[in-house]
Amino acid sequence: MQAKVNETIIELVCGDITEEITDAIVNAANERLAGGAGVDGAIHRAGGPSIMAQCRQIGSCPTGKAVITTGGNLKAKYVIHTVGPIYRGGARGEEKLLQNAYRNSLELARQNGLQSISFPAISTGVYAYPLDEAAKIALKTSIEFARENNEIKHIRHILFSSRDYDVFCLQLKDLI
């Protein structure tokens, strides 16, 4: 499913983010940039050791912020590593932090002259963010960014299961 917002196509896809050919893919990392399970593990495995070497140089990334490395062996030229919040009930600023993770990743892509970016469903795995709420924040932030900026032409949200894809589709229909 896709929607056009000004000059930007926002697209939902069911698939594996390591296969993406966008300028950047986004990693759902941890603050230590230490690698881990889930999409983080998959990106480092597919991208090879040069990505971790750059992460070590950078050192860390606070929750809600984003940093950029090259894409190593991936088809994408860059990996933007962001850190979503750990969900602890919703009253600890999680919504704002998740919004910041998307927003700062998009901003970093724009600053680097990138035109296309692929996101996983940040925080919805190990970090346990409820999927429908996380989907709404992800898509609202993408739509807002596309309304305010026209440099990024393609924002893709890559969902790892058909259930996640269906939840994102429902939220996108609600928002456009």
Q: Which of 121, 135, 138, 146 binds ligand AR6 (CB under 6 A)?
A: 121
Of 15 and 174, the one with the shorter C-beta distance to ligand AR6 is: 15
Q: Does 165 bind ligand AR6 (CB under 6 A)?
A: no
Q: Which of 10, 29, 66, 106 binds ligand AR6 (CB under 6 A)?
A: 29
Instruction: Work out whether the CA dihedral 16, 102, 135, 146 comes out positive or negative.
Output: negative
Is residue 36 within 8 A of residue 44, CB to CB? The reply is: no
- Residue 19: alpha-carbon gap to chain centroid: 14
Instruction: Please state the closest distance from residue 150 (CB atom) to ligand AR6, in A.
Output: 27
> Which pair of tokens denotes residue 122?
């940040």
> How many residues are recorded in the chain?
176
> Which pair of tokens denotes residue 50?
């040069």
Our answer to whether residue 40 is catalytic in this structure is yes
**Contact window for ligand AR6 (CB under 6 A) among 10-18, 57-65, 73-81, 103-111:** 10-18
- The 78-82 sheet, strands edge to edge: 2-5, 8-14, 154-159, 116-119, 24-28, 78-82, 66-70
Q: Does 125 bind ligand AR6 (CB under 6 A)?
A: yes
List contacts with ligand AR6 (CB under 6 A). Answer: 16-18, 28-30, 36-40, 42, 84, 120-127, 158, 160, 164
